[in-house]
Amino acid sequence: MNVSIPIINMSRTGENIRTLRLARGLTVRDLQQALGFGTPQAIYKWQQGVTLPTLDNLVILSDILGVSMEAILAVDSRRM
């Protein structure tokens, strides 16, 4: 079977979040407060490509950053 499967590239997604955040002039603390997080650790983990935002946080991020969710997520494809 020769099927292309989409795979989220966590490292590049993290780079996108960081780049988009900086382009909007936002700090990690700004995102932390907007998302209602007690600490900034989750945002740092996203930016480092360790974890991904949950779907609800991705929707909020896209609104804060003024871009579509597709602009945040870096998607590669893998052949199966």
Coil, strand or helix at 45? helix
Check residue 79 and give its pLDDT: 81
> Which tens digit of pLDDT belongs to each residue from 10-68?
999 999 999 999 999 999 999 999 999 999 999 999 999 999 999 999 999 999 999 99
Largest CA distance in the chain: 47
Q: CATH number, domain at 65?
A: 1.10.260.40
Enclosing domain of residue 20: 4-79
Domain count, the chain: 1
pTM: 0.92
Distance between CA 39 and CA 33 in Å, rounded?
A: 9
Residues near 76 by beta carbon (within 8 Å), at least 6 away in sequence:
6, 7, 8, 9
- Residue recorded with tokens 């590669």: 76
